[in-house]
């Protein structure tokens, strides 16, 4: 599909119609505009020269009518154009946003959040301006150019030839200017990109910036980025502004030339005064159209960079998608097949229910795309029966998070297989799989809104009793009730107004509301005191007897009571067993245990 086709895909008919009406109305406006000088010439040459007031009044009224009609067409064209262009931007923005919603973690990793934000905002605005220009200016300028030229030939052929000589004088230097300016504008757009990412990164991390007293450093970074944009833009505009004086010079010289030749023609009786005046108007219409055309080229270059960036997102292959009928059993299951699956939200033969919470890893290898690391997970195999409690321990960077992310298929394995409820995760309908697996991510996010609204993410239909029950299990109920507004307390962006431990407990409660078959807690009680941590585990055990629970932790105390504990070491499953078994069989486990015990046996609750 062409770039234009990709951008226009799915544009509503209403906006398409507006986009076509705009140039249509523009045709009316331009035709009237070139007609007016002709009427004026007649008023002067016939009415005024012949002292015929009746003619002047009659044709004068016609001129007013034509002007009003031209004005009306202009207004309509601007309105249709605005509606069309805004509709285009809206439709494109929606498509881009929903595409990003379908992105897998790997897709998001590739683009970076800051870049996606720029693409959805600045780039779409540029695309909108370009669209507006195409449906209006790209019609107006050539049309004005051609019709004004034709009119001038109709008025007086020999004089027209004279001023046609002026056109190359303006076109050739303009081409040089544009050619030199193109690369400069490209550089300018790149600098805008880095300015945007500086702003986004800084605003997202403003708390960290303040905590590390890096304001001056950040301000300097911003100043540098802003300066870079300024100097690039000055460099580009420097060339473009040469165009204006150039055009004016050519225009005034042409006017003098035309007055010279035209004056002689009038004396010789081959030209009338009014015709000369209309000629000057056509001349300026032609030169202004040329100027406009050159501006259009500049604008197209600026927006081209944006269009490319938008199309990149639209073209991105979504690497995790629902299985489709022809491909799940097909050995040549290629990337293209997968992306077409996205269009068909629900695969026809995908499994839509997770039977139970059993998990099997068979010779799983995994690595992140675009990293040097050959294998983040190395030949991992294990079996977890449904309802079991599993602890995962391992040094930082030992791939604990990576391992559990494969269970709800946030990433796809490189080789081997991950089975949930006896079925390969690739054969599940994604929504079915993910709603059965609740994962409290290591980097928790709460959204702007009340506590209740945030909890309902887990289950929209949950009643107040269910909410309270989940919060009690997660030991969040008491502190929620201590807020004056209780469950209606409004959380700031990202949950800034609750403490780290409170946030973790809210996230656990939110996950519990999903009534999952598998519950994964990735270091989810790290900010909670040990006593509360223990009570949370006890109540999880009581209320979620049939749910498979996977607890990743740094503290031995958090996993010690698990049915099986996995010890991960540099992407390998080093050992597994109960607490007591591991104490005797795993040196890594024993080391961690000893080091934590020596810190404070009482505090760590491992006595």
Ligand X SMILES: Nc1ncnc2c1ncn2[C@@H]1O[C@H](COP(=O)(O)OP(=O)(O)OP(=O)(O)O)[C@@H](O)[C@H]1O
Nearer to ligand X, 454 or 558 (CB): 558
Which positions ≥6 away from 151 have C-beta within 8 Å? 34, 37, 38, 278, 282
Q: Taking Cα atoms as reference points, which of 419, 409, 394 lies closest to residue 523?
A: 394
Whether residue 606 contacts residue 593, with contact meaning beta carbons closer than 8 Å, is answered with: yes
From 202-210, 297-305, 398-406, 524-532, span contacting Mg ion (CB under 5 A): 398-406
Q: How far is the CB of 443 from Mg ion (least distance, A)?
A: 9
Select from 400, 475, 505, 560 the one that contacts ligand X (CB under 6 A): 400
Select from 398, 473, 504, 524 the one that contacts ligand X (CB under 6 A): 398
Nearer to ligand X, 25 or 380 (CB): 380
- Does 376 bind ligand X (CB under 6 A)? Our answer is yes
Select from 109, 427, 453, 581 the one that contacts ligand X (CB under 6 A): 109
Residue 368, binding choice from ligand X, Mg ion, none, Cβ under 5 to 8 Å by partner class: ligand X
Residue 149, binding choice from ligand X, Mg ion, none, Cβ under 5 to 8 Å by partner class: none
Nearer to ligand X, 71 or 369 (CB): 369
- Does 108 bind ligand X (CB under 6 A)? Our answer is no
List the 423-424 sheet strands across, edge first: 377-384, 359-366, 415-420, 423-424
User: Within 13 Å and on the Cβ side, how many CA atoms surround 436?
Assistant: 25
Q: Where are the alpha helices (DSSP H) in 318-448?
A: 335-343, 400-405, 430-436
Q: Both tokens of residue 167?
A: 């056109």
Give CA–CA dist 75/279, Å, rounded. Answer: 27
β-strand partners of 552: 392, 522
For Mg ion, how many residues bind (rule: CB under 5 A)? Answer: 2
Nearer to Mg ion, 29 or 522 (CB): 522
For ligand X, how many residues bind (rule: CB under 6 A)? Answer: 13
Site string for Mg ion, 577-606 (x = CB under 5 A): ------------------------------
Which positions ≥6 away from 286 have C-beta within 8 Å? 144, 145, 148, 149, 152, 163, 167
Chain-centroid distance of CA 509 in Å reads 31
- Does 397 bind ligand X (CB under 6 A)? Our answer is yes
Select from 197, 442, 469, 532 the one that contacts ligand X (CB under 6 A): 442
- Does 401 bind Mg ion (CB under 5 A)? Our answer is yes
- Does 371 bind ligand X (CB under 6 A)? Our answer is yes
From 170-178, 330-338, 398-406, 472-480, span contacting ligand X (CB under 6 A): 398-406
Nearer to Mg ion, 509 or 552 (CB): 552
Select from 13, 396, 584, 598 the one that contacts ligand X (CB under 6 A): 396
Chain-centroid distance of CA 596 in Å reads 45
Give CA–CA dist 386/591, Å, rounded. Answer: 30
Q: Both tokens of residue 220?
A: 């300097």
Select from 259, 297, 333, 368 the one that contacts ligand X (CB under 6 A): 368
User: Within 13 Å and on the Cβ side, how many CA atoms surround 34?
Assistant: 25
Q: How far is the CB of 399 from ligand X (least distance, A)?
A: 4
Would you call 600 helix, strand, or coil by DSSP?
coil
Give CA–CA dist 83/19, Å, rounded. Answer: 8
Residue 402, binding choice from Mg ion, ligand X, none, Cβ under 5 to 8 Å by partner class: ligand X
Nearer to ligand X, 402 or 558 (CB): 402
Whether residue 279 contacts residue 152, with contact meaning beta carbons closer than 8 Å, is answered with: yes
Q: Taking Cα atoms as reference points, which of 253, 257, 249 lies closest to residue 158?
A: 257
Residue 371, binding choice from Mg ion, ligand X, none, Cβ under 5 to 8 Å by partner class: ligand X
Nearer to Mg ion, 389 or 401 (CB): 401
- Does 554 bind Mg ion (CB under 5 A)? Our answer is no
390: exposed, middle or buried (Cβ count in 10 Å: 0-12, 13-18, 19+): buried
Of residues 52 through 71, those in contact with Mg ion by CB under 5 A are none
Site string for Mg ion, 417-456 (x = CB under 5 A): -------------------------x--------------
- Does 399 bind ligand X (CB under 6 A)? Our answer is yes
| Neighbour-count burial for 29-60, b at 16+ CB within 10 Å, e otherwise | bbbbbbbbbbbbbbbbbebeeeeeeeebeebe
Positions that interact with Mg ion (CB under 5 A) = 401, 442
Residues within the interface to ligand X (CB under 6 A)? 109, 368, 371, 376, 394, 396-402, 442
């Amino acid at each position: 599909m062409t770039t234009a086709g990709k951008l226009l895909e799915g544009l509503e008919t209403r906006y398409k119609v507006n986009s076509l009406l705009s140039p249509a109305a523009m045709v009316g406006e331009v035709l009237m505009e070139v007609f007016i000088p002709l009427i004026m010439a007649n008023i002067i040459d016939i009415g005024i020269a012949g002292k015929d007031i009746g003619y002047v009044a009659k044709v004068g009224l016609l001129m007013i009518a034509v002007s009003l009609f031209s004005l009306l067409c202009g207004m309509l064209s601007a309105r249709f154009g605005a509606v069309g262009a805004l509709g285009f931007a809206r439709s494109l923005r929606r498509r881009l946003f929903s595409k990003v919603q379908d992105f897998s973690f790997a897709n998001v990793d590739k683009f970076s959040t800051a870049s996606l934000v720029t693409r959805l905002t600045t780039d779409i605005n540029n695309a909108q301006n370009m669209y507006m220009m195409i449906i209006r200016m790209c019609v107006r300028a050539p049309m004005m150019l051609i019709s004004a030229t034709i009119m001038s030939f109709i008025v007086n052929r020999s004089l027209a030839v004279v001023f046609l000589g002026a056109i190359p004088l303006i076109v050739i230097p303009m081409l040089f200017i544009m050619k030199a300016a193109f690369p400069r504008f490209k550089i300018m757009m790149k600098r805008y990109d880095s300015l945007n990412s500086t702003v986004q990164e800084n605003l997202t991390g403003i708390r960290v910036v303040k905590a590390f007293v890096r304001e001056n450093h950040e301000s300097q970074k911003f100043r540098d980025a802003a300066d870079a944009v300024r100097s690039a833009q000055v460099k580009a505009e420097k060339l473009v502004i040469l165009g204006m004086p150039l055009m004016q010079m050519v225009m005034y010289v042409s006017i003098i030339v035309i007055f010279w030749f035209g004056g002689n023609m009038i004396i010789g009786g081959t030209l009338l005064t009014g015709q000369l005046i209309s000629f000057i108007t056509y001349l300026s219409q032609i030169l202004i159209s040329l100027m406009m055309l050159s501006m259009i080229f500049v604008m197209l270059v600026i927006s081209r960079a944006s269009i490319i960036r938008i199309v990149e997102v639209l073209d991105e292959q979504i690497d995790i998608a629902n299985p489709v009928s022809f491909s799940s059993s097909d050995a040549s299951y290629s990337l293209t097949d997968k992306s077409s699956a996205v269009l068909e939200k629900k695969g026809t033969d995908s499994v839509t229910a997770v039977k139970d919470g059993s998990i099997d890893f068979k010779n799983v290898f995994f690595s992140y795309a675009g990293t040097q690391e050959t294998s983040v997970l190395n030949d991992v195999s294990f079996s977890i029966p449904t309802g079991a409690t599993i602890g995962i321990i391992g040094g930082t960077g030992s791939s604990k998070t990576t391992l559990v992310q494969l269970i709800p298929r946030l990433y796809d394995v490189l080789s081997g297989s991950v089975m949930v409820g006896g079925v390969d995760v690739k054969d599940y309908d994604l929504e079915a799989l993910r709603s059965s697996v609740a994962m409290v991510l290591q980097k928790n996010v709460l959204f702007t809104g009340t506590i209740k609204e945030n909890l309902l993410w887990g289950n929209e239909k949950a009643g107040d009793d269910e909410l309270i029950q989940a919060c009690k299990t997660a030991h969040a109920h008491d502190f929620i009730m201590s807020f004056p507004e209780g469950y209606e307390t409004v959380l700031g962006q990202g949950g800034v107004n609750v403490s780290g431990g409170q946030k973790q407990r809210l996230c656990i409660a939110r996950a519990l509301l999903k009534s999952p078959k598998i519950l994964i807690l990735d270091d989810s009680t790290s900010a909670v005191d040990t006593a509360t941590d223990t009570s949370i585990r006890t109540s999880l055990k009581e209320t979620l007897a049939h749910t498979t629970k996977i607890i990743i932790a740094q503290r031995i105390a958090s996993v010690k009571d698990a049915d099986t504990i996995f010890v991960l070491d540099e992407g390998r499953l080093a050992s597994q067993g109960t607490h007591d078994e591991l104490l005797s069989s795993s040196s890594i486990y024993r080391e961690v245990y000893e080091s934590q015990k020596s810190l404070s046996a009482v505090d760590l609750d491992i006595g």
